[in-house]
Amino acid sequence: MSFVKKTIASAAAIAALVAVPTATAVADDAVAQDTATVQAQASSVNSITVGAWTVYDRTTGISNPTYVVDDLNAVNPHDIWASGGNVYLGTQRTDGKTFLIVQYYDDAGKTYDVTFTRTPSSDTTVTSLTAGGYNVDLAKAATVEGDFIEVADLSAVDFAAVGGSWAYGVTVTKAAETDGDGYARILYMVAAEDGTQGPTYTVTFQQTKKSSDTTLTDLSVDGYHIDLDAAATVEGYTIEVDDPSAVNPEAISGSWAKGSDVKIGATAEGKNKVSYTYYVVAEDGTTGKVAYQVNFVKSPSTDTHITNLIVDGDYAIDLTQAATSEGYTIAVADPFAVDPTVIAGSWAAGADVKLGATVEGKNKVSYTYYVVAEDGKTQGPDYKVTFVKAKNSATTLSTLTVDGYVVYEPAQGLTDATTTDGHVITVDDPSAIDPNVIGGAWAAGADVKLGASSTSSDGSQVSYTYYVVAEDGTQGTASYKVTFKKAKKSSDATLTTLTVDGYVAYDAVKGPFDATTTDGHTFVVDDPSAIDPSVIGGAWAAGADVLLGGSSEAADGSSVSYFYYVVAEDGTRSEVTYKVNFVKAQDGETPTEPEEPGKDDETTTPAEDEQKADENKPDENKSALGDTGSAVLGVSVFALLLAAGSAVIFVMRKRA
């Protein structure tokens, strides 16, 4: 047979033993949940015990028993032992005094009840008793005279504090108290658990002897703490007050010997002064040998109030601002010419305004003032006053540059930035201009600010407006406008030289020139198909580009022709087409070798080169260099271009 102990630690169930009202069922949420999930099955429990008590026994037939116990608190409903199956704690009911009903259940849902009862005791037996911490002679205390106990300090005894040993449920309480001169007579009553009244005990506490102690350890008069050592001297202890006559000399507090008292002796009054003498009378009437003299004298004013403050006759100070950490600032022509010691104004009677710290800086000096009260000790708050050199209000602008471009320079006659249209500057890319890069020359301490800006819808121009702010914040009346306008693209489509895969197809200076003819320029090569038409080189107008327009090839692959044209920077296409033919060399025919454009066996001067260039230029309205200047490969042409001061562009690239 197996035995299983089930212990359910439920704080709610334990609390129910003492906290549940009479005949009130206590249900545990967890128990309710467990019960709801119990499977319908036959009970297998053979026996149940709780502590030493049998709740159920299948063999002996014990079921739902009732037990009488001396102490309900001795029953632990969680101390469950079961055999044959699992048993769980269910509900409990109790009044905390006379009964406790506990219900258990098993996995099959069967319930088992057990009842514990007890009858409150009427026993009033007291075997020992202490009162106020003193042992009581019960035999004497039970008589009419009672028990007498001597104590050193009657006021220190807690007469209600009882202890000792007595029957279960018995209570011993202080029932009455009679106080006399140096004694206290106390009556204690006994009651059984069921309320039965027991014997009464009388105890008289007697003060042994009155103290002659006159010790004074601490003294205050009307809230003023007294230095006892100083007060015990001939001069006594002096305290400054606003009104000595307003002090209440009888308002005494402090610490002195138990049972003793502090008395007021002699009183002496003078001008703005009153003196009191105090002494201690012990509990037994003994007068202390030390007299304590306390002098109350009218004190000088501690008022540090200030109404207004003027420095150096002219400068009225804003005291509210001066009291802040930043202080009050005044702009003057010369900060160092101000005399900080010339002080005027209005403040508390008897007080004085003092000059404190002085801090000098660049173009400024700060002074700290404070008020000292009539008492010469009390100091008011600091007032900080700073005199600074007045800032320049000039907004003069001498020159202005924006991102390196000169916008305004009157000395050179450049003043149109102040007009409605402003100054216009042509640049390659207006959006690349940084308007915040400002340079130039203007009034000391002033600054040039960027104001309004605008950009045209096509982005071809952008305008910025600038203005000057003086050192003191004054904004100049003039504004300066600059417009950055995008430069117009060139329509020049001039071609100076052209090479295709290294072969010079056209050279406006040296020749060949026939690429512009209907037949074009022809090269004899070993393999026309090996020529890469996208490898284009040469020289043409700045910003222009040479493009491959088309090609044609003989059916037998013996020749191939390519057509090129020039597109100017602004997209204008040249009217001239350049045709280049590559023909397969026949037997015994020598192929053409690639060469640099402009190279021949002649040695020419720059003047001769220029003359020949004029004779062979493709457009009578444009120079061989183009409107913006071009460059070609070749020693003589390079020299010609340098002599003419033109831009040089060398191109040799492969086109996709």
Q: For residue 34, is pLDDT > 90? A: no
Same domain, 569 and 645: yes
Q: What is the percent of the chain with per-residue pLDDT over 70, rounded to a whole number?
A: 84
What are the DSSP calls for 500-520, one per residue? ETTEEEEETTTS--GGGSSS-
Lowest mean pLDDT among 26-40, 112-126, 473-487, 622-636: 622-636
**Token duo for residue 526:** 């070993």
User: For the segment 177-206, what is each residue's pLDDT rounded down to a tens digit?
Assistant: 998 888 999 999 999 988 999 999 999 999
Q: For residue 92, is pLDDT > 60? A: yes
Same domain, 325 and 352: yes
| Mean pLDDT across the chain | 85
Final residue belonging to a domain, choices 451, 486, 521: 486
Please give the residue range of the domain that contains residue 12.
3-117
Same domain, 454 and 566: no
Q: Which pLDDT value is given to residue 461?
A: 93
Same domain, 81 and 141: no
User: For the segment 470-515, what is each residue's pLDDT rounded down to a tens digit?
Assistant: 988 999 999 999 999 988 888 899 999 999 999 999 999 998 989 9
Residue of higher predicted confidence among 624 and 436: 436
Same domain, 49 and 161: no
Same domain, 249 and 278: yes
CA distances 483 to 397, 423, 477, Å, are: 19, 6, 20
Final residue belonging to a domain, choices 456, 486, 516: 486
CA distance 599 to 510: 8
Residue 246, C-beta contacts closer than 8 angstroms, at least 6 positions apart: none
Check residue 534 and report its DSSP letter.
T
pTM above 0.75, yes or no: no
**Token duo for residue 71:** 């102490």
Same domain, 324 and 291: no
CA distance 368 to 380: 12
Residue of higher predicted confidence among 259 and 248: 248
CA distance 299 to 295: 12
Q: Which pLDDT value is given to residue 608?
A: 52
Q: For residue 276, is pLDDT > 50? A: yes
pLDDT band at 21 (very low <50, low <70, confident <90, very high): very low
Q: From start to end of 396-487, where are the E strands?
A: 397-402, 405-408, 423-427, 438-442, 447-455, 461-469, 475-486
* 3-state per-residue secondary structure call for 549-571: EEEEECCCCCEEEEEEEEECCCC
State the average pLDDT over residues 140-144. 94
CA distances 420 to 68, 405, 465, 483, Å, are: 116, 19, 11, 11
Check residue 235 and report its DSSP letter.
S
Q: Which amino acid is at 486?
A: K
**Token duo for residue 172:** 């011993």
Same domain, 164 and 131: yes
Final residue belonging to a domain, choices 459, 486, 513: 486
- Residue showing tokens 């009840």: 113
End-to-end CA distance of the chain: 100
Question: Does residue 346 contact residue 306 with C-beta atoms inside 8 Å?
Answer: yes
Same domain, 28 and 92: yes
Same domain, 11 and 38: yes
DSSP H/E element including 191: strand 183-191
Check residue 392 and report its DSSP letter.
P
Q: Which pLDDT value is given to residue 410?
A: 95
Question: Does residue 50 contact residue 75 with C-beta atoms inside 8 Å?
Answer: yes
User: For the segment 151-168, what is each residue's pLDDT rounded down to a tens digit?
Assistant: 888 889 999 999 999 988
What is the total count of domains within the chain?
A: 6
Cis peptide before 512 (omega within 30 of 0): yes
Q: Which pLDDT value is given to residue 645?
A: 34
Q: Which pLDDT value is given to residue 611?
A: 56
Signed CA dihedral, 373, 376, 380, 384: sign only: positive
Same domain, 584 and 518: yes
Same domain, 174 and 68: no
Q: Which pLDDT value is given to residue 638?
A: 34
**Token duo for residue 142:** 């039970």
Lowest mean pLDDT among 70-74, 347-351, 513-517: 70-74
- CA-nearest of 154, 164, 210 to 186 is 154
Question: Does residue 444 contact residue 394 with C-beta atoms inside 8 Å?
Answer: yes
